């Protein structure tokens, strides 16, 4: 069987900040049936998961970064807690912190550039100097975007130049800029290749990856179309590299996200009795947050970020509630402090209609997927989006702005689809979509039929893993 090494900064359950973590925790499990074994390598963070698992050192190395010597070790997870080989790069002083990207104040670490370069260099250093080999590397987002350059154009790692490197864009907003003044942090490379690193007058990790990777994909076909149409100043680059670009929709891990066995839930789906399952969890939620019952429950789960349209929620919900609509809301998320404040104020004003939980809470998220009637996603852009697929798996109707992966997974019910979709990330459209949700909920037959229908849809990794395998096969035989 051919082997792929996935290189990432997130992998559920070791470390997750969003959907990319879910993808890395799931995709490797679904590749072996298509002829590829997959391993994952992450930085070794000092969070609860890493602290409670034991690792064995497989390699120690050292390389120069500017005037400093960076010492690192590669370690492999000892037990079979994960269904694939799992490696961690231990770099003392750089990753031995609990958080992945942001410090406790929610601000990006100020040594982010150094961390990312050290992580990537450690991996190529290991691959070249240890008795280890993979048939392909698969890099994820800008934090690993320099690897396809390192394998092609650096002296020390040139033995990797024939190794296919695949690159997935999970979120094109984050670019991984490095000032030219920090050039010495990179391993020595052919100076005539300097231009490859350059975009926007900076060393540009994402642009470099798009230029150097053998194949580039986004996590949904519609998101790739959007980037080809408008990826701000990267548009000419993706257009130029279009031949090697594609979109593959993410799947979800249907074993972990299973209403019949979800370990986070205290009551499970039995005999496909959705009424009982959803009723129990909805009642629990309404009680827990002291919300009014006998009305639809619409929830939001996600990062409070501009891209998620979370800033539009408070205004839209207020408009809905001012018009005396019978509906309750639960909002779970954290991020932008102004959005947090707006949501908290809304919950204070409408105590029996709106609950706000400013947190990252996996257990509560599962409960909300299980007990809500609708899940709203007013995203400005959404490379794939997993929440809508999780919500359907738990028979919760998605209400989405049609963008990126939401276009590919949630066609509107007016076209025989599986949810409610709206055109613009604007308050007015959100208010209208909530109105449609309330109407649908009132039409019990249609609502229960839709709920039944979406719970049976297959968003598992099967077909997407096959597409990744096809992509690898073009270069690895």
Q: Given the rule CB under 6 A, which residues bind ligand ADP?
A: 18-20, 22, 301-303, 332-334, 360-362, 365, 384-387
DSSP bridge pairs for 189: 154
Q: Which of 147, 212, 141, 211 is nearest to 175 (CA)?
A: 141
Give the distance between the most distant pair of CA atoms in the chain: 70
Nearer to ligand ADP, 88 or 301 (CB): 301
Strands (E) across 141-220 are located at 165-169, 177-178, 198-199, 202-204, 215-218
**Minimum distance of ligand ADP from residue 356's CB (angstroms):** 11
CA 102 – CA 110 distance, rounded (Å): 9
**Complex with ligand ADP: residue 270 or 362, whichever CB lies closer:** 362
Kindly tell me which of 22 and 353 has the beta carbon lying closer to ligand ADP. 22
Minimal distance, residue 251 CB to ligand ADP, in Å: 12
Closer residue to ligand ADP in complex, CB, 387/437? 387
Q: Which is nearer to ligand ADP, 105 or 201 (CB)?
A: 105
Q: Report the residue number, 360 or 475, with the smaller CB distance to ligand ADP.
A: 360
**In the complex, least distance from residue 243 CB atom to ligand ADP, rounded to whole angstroms:** 27
Counting Cα atoms < 13 Å in the Cβ hemisphere of 135 gives: 15
- DSSP string covering 89-103: EE-TTTS-SS-SSB-
CB of 406 to ligand ADP, least distance (A): 10
Distances (CA, A) of 354 to 236, 250, 368: 44, 31, 14
CB 388 within 8 A of CB 287: no
3-state secondary structure of 304: strand
CA–CA gap between residue 203 and residue 184 (Å, rounded) = 12
Backbone angles phi, psi at 421, to 5 degrees: -125, 150
Q: Give the residue with the Cβ less far from ligand ADP, 334 or 356.
A: 334
Residue nearer to ligand ADP on the CB measure, 196 or 343:
343
Taking the complex as a whole, the smallest distance from the CB of residue 182 to ligand ADP amounts, in Å, to 27
CB of 17 to ligand ADP, least distance (A): 7
Least CB distance to ligand ADP at residue 303 (A): 5
Taking the C-alpha atoms of residue 286 and residue 292, their distance in angstroms, rounded to an integer, is 7
CA angle 409, 414, 419 (to 5 degrees): 35
In angstroms, give the least distance from the CB of 224 to ligand ADP. 16
């Amino acid at each position: 069987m051919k082997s792929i090494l996935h290189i990432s900064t997130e992998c559920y359950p070791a470390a997750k900040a969003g959907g990319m973590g879910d993808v890395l925790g799931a995709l490797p499990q679904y590749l072996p049936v298509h002829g590829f074994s997959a391993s994952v390598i992450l930085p070794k963070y000092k969070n609860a998961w890493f602290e409670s698992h034991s690792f064995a050192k497989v390699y120690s190395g050292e390389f120069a970064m500017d005037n400093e010597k960076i010492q690192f070790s590669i370690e492999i997870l000892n037990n079979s807690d994960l269904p694939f080989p799992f490696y961690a790069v231990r770099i003392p002083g750089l990753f031995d912190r609990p958080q992945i990207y942001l410090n406790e104040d929610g601000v990006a670490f100020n040594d982010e550039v150094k961390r990312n370069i050290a992580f990537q260099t450690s991996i190529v250093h290991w691959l070249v100097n240890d008795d280890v080999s993979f048939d392909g590397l698969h890099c994820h987002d800008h934090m690993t975007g320099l690897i396809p350059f390192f394998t092609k154009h650096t002296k020390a790692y040139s033995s990797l130049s024939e190794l296919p490197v695949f690159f997935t864009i999970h979120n094109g907003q984050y670019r991984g800029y490095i000032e030219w003044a920090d050039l010495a942090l990179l391993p020595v490379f052919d100076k005539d290749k300097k231009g490859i690193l350059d975009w926007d007058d900076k060393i540009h990790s994402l642009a470099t990856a798009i230029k150097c990777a053998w194949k580039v994909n986004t996590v949904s076909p519609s998101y790739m179309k959007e980037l080809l149409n408008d990826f701000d100043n990267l548009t000419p680059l993706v257009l130029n590299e279009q031949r090697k670009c594609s979109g593959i929709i993410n799947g979800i891990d249907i074993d972990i996200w299973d209403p019949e066995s979800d370990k986070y839930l205290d009551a499970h789906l039995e005999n496909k009795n959705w009424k009982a399952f959803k009723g129990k969890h909805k009642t629990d939620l309404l009680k827990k947050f002291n919300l009014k019952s006998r009305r639809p429950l619409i929830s939001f789960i996600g990062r409070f970020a501009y891209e998620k349209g979370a800033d539009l929620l408070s205004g839209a919900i207020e408009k809905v509630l001012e018009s005396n609509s019978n509906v309750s809301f639960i909002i779970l998320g954290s991020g932008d402090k102004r959005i947090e404040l707006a949501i908290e104020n809304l919950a204070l004003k409408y105590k029996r209609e709106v609950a706000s939980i400013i947190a990252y809470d996996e257990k509560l998220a599962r409960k909300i997927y299980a007990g809500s009637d609708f899940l709203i996603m007013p995203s400005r852009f959404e490379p794939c989006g997993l929440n809508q697929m999780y919500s359907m798996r738990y028979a919760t109707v998605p209400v989405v702005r049609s963008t990126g992966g939401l276009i590919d997974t949630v066609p509107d019910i007016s076209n025989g689809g599986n949810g409610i979709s709206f055109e613009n990330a604007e308050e007015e459209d959100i208010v209208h979509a909530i109105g449609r949700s309330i109407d649908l909920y009132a039409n019990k037959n249609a609502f229960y039929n839709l709920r039944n229908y979406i719970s049976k849809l297959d968003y598992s990794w099967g077909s997407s893993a096959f597409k990744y395998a096809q992509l690898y096969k073009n270069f690895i035989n």
